[in-house]
C-alpha cells in the first residue's frame, strides 16, 4: 500500500484524525490593538452582496473586510522590518513545502495559569528536549498556554492600564529556535506571537524581530493545542496567496494519531 493510500485509510478509519487549530473568523473576532500613535487593524466586517434576493435570487455571497493579521493567521517574514529584504518572504512567494511540517508542542499551561506574563526561556526548551528529543529542523514549535480558553475577547486581549498582558517568548528563546533549531516558526494561542508586554521589551516585539529576521514564520490565535501530542503531529498552515502579503488568515489543521 502506498503511503498516501495508507494516510487516507487511516483518516477514514479514525486511527489518524484531523484537529482544527483555527478560531472562528467573523465580526466577533478579537483584533490586536497597538498604541494610539500607530495604524490600527480594523475588526472583521462582512457586507452581503446578495442573499437569495433581488441582487442575486439564487445565490448568497459577502464582501469581507479585514486586516491580514486577523484571527487565526500566518505571519510572513516581510511583516517585520528585520525580514523585509529576505528572498521569498511574502505569502505569495514562500515555497509551499514550508506550509507543512511536524509540530513540537511545549505545554506551559500550568506556568501561564500562575503568570499571565510568562515568557518561554531556553531552559524550558532544553527541558522539553530532554523528554521528547531535539526539536527537528523545519518543525513548528507550538506554545500551549490554554489562552484560547479565554473566549471572552476582553479576557483574551487582557489589556490593563499598562498595556496587554499575555504570555510569549524571551528573545533568547526566539534566537535559539530561529537560528539554532531552524524551526519553520512558532505558533501561539494568543493574539500575536509576542508577549502582551513585548512592546516595552528591547528590542520591541523580539519574537517578531528575531523569527522574521531569520526567515521564520508565525501562527497566532491557535486553539485546540491541548488535543495534540508533544511530538508526532503534522501541521498544515497555508496562507492565502496574497501578492506581497505580510500575513493571512489561515485554516490551520493538524494530523495526529
Ligand atoms: Mn500577525
CA of 73 to the centre of ligand 1 (A): 6
Give the per-residue pLDDT at 229.
Answer: 98
pLDDT tens figures, 165-174:
999 999 999 9
CA of 234 to the centre of ligand 1 (A): 22
Above pLDDT 70, what percent of the chain? 100
- Given the residues 69, 73, 79, 208, the one annotated as active site: 79
The owner of cell 531535539 is: 134
* pLDDT value at residue 10: 97
Q: Where does the pLDDT of residue 1 fall: very low under 50, low under 70, confident under 90, or very high at 90 and above?
A: confident
Omega of the bond leading into 208 within 30 degrees of 0 (cis): no
Do the beta carbons of residue 79 and residue 212 sit within 8 Å? yes
Please report the pLDDT score of residue 45 as a whole number.
Answer: 98
141, 182 in Cβ contact below 8 A? Answer: no
Q: Is 170 tagged catalytic?
A: no
Residues 82-120 have pLDDT tens digits of 999 999 999 999 999 999 999 999 999 999 999 999 999
How far is ligand 1, taken at its centre, from the CA of residue 50, in Å?
31
Amino acid at each position: 500500500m502506498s503511503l498516501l493510500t495508507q494516510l487516507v485509510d487511516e483518516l477514514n478509519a479514525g486511527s489518524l484524525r484531523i484537529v482544527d487549530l483555527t478560531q472562528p473568523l467573523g465580526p466577533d473576532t478579537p483584533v490586536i490593538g497597538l498604541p494610539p500613535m500607530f495604524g490600527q487593524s480594523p475588526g472583521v466586517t462582512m457586507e452581503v452582496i446578495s442573499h437569495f434576493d433581488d441582487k442575486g435570487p439564487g445565490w448568497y455571497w459577502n464582501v469581507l473586510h479585514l486586516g491580514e493579521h486577523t484571527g487565526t493567521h500566518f505571519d510572513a517574514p516581510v511583516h517585520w522590518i528585520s525580514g523585509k529584504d529576505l528572498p521569498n518572504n511574502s505569502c505569495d512567494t514562500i515555497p509551499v513545502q514550508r506550509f507543512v511540517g511536524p509540530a513540537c508542542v511545549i505545554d506551559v499551561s500550568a506556568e501561564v495559569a500562575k503568570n499571565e506574563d510568562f515568557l518561554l526561556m531556553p531552559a524550558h526548551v532544553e527541558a522539553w528536549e530532554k523528554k521528547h528529543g531535539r526539536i527537528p529542523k523545519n518543525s513548528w514549535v507550538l506554545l500551549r498556554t490554554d489562552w484560547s480558553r479565554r473566549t471572552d475577547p476582553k479576557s483574551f486581549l487582557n489589556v490593563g492600564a499598562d498595556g496587554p498582558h499575555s504570555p510569549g517568548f524571551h528573545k533568547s528563546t526566539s534566537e535559539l529556535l530561529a537560528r539554532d533549531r531552524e524551526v519553520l516558526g512558532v505558533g501561539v494561542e494568543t493574539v500575536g506571537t509576542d508577549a502582551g508586554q513585548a512592546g516595552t521589551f528591547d528590542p520591541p516585539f523580539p519574537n517578531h524581530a528575531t523569527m522574521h529576521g531569520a526567515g521564520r514564520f508565525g501562527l497566532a490565535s491557535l486553539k485546540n493545542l491541548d488535543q495534540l501530542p508533544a511530538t508526532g503531529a503534522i501541521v498544515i498552515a497555508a496562507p492565502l496567496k496574497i501578492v506581497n502579503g505580510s500575513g493571512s488568515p489561515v485554516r490551520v489543521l493538524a494530523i495526529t494519531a
